[in-house]
Amino acid sequence: MCHLCKPLLSCCFSDLLHSGVHSFRYAYTERILDMMRNIQKQRDETERVIEDIKRSQKDINALEGKLDRTYADLDATLFDVSKHIYDVHSCVLYDKVVGFKENLERSGARPCLPNGC
């Protein structure tokens, strides 16, 4: 028997004993069974919510990983391009990507850098 049911049962049985009337036994039994059904419904709903949270967390982790890989690929590509092209435009573009990375970090995302930082 669960730890939540024991206080309810003791309360119902004490009410029954104090009333001295045994004709209400059926009503108390129904009350106890109804309480136990409600507890089971609450348990089922709690388990469903926990499963939804786990599924959502997996989705978040997958999207965060995809974002990290995309940033790492973008960072590596821009670094390679900036090694070969020494004009002002590539420097500005690289600065924008660094700014994008800083915005990600401020928002709580953790970009994955190619050098493992």
pLDDT in tens, 37-59: 999 999 999 999 999 999 999 99
Does 113 map to a domain?
no
How many distinct structural domains can be found in the chain?
A: 1
Q: Is residue 117 in a domain?
A: no
Residue 52 lies in a domain: yes
95 within domain boundaries: yes
Distance CA 63, CA 60 (A): 5
Asked whether residue 112 is assigned to any structural domain, the reply reads no
Within a domain: residue 20? Answer: yes
Domain around 94 = 5-107
Q: What is the pLDDT of residue 93?
A: 67
Answer positive or negative: Cα dihedral of 63, 111, 107, 79.
Answer: negative
pLDDT at 117: 46
* Helix axes of 5-19 and 25-84: crossing angle, nearest 10 degrees: 160
**Is 97's pLDDT higher than 80?**
no
Task: Kindly state whether residue 116 falls inside one of the protein's structural domains.
Answer: no
The two tokens of residue 7 are 């206080």
**pTM as predicted:** 0.47
DSSP state of 101: H
- Please check whether residue 112 is in contact with residue 66, taking contact to mean a CB–CB distance below 8 angstroms: no
Of 16-20, 65-69, 77-81, 111-115, least confident by mean pLDDT is 111-115
At 75-91, the pLDDT tens digits run: 788 777 766 665 555 56
55 within domain boundaries: yes
**Mean pLDDT score across all residues of the chain:** 76
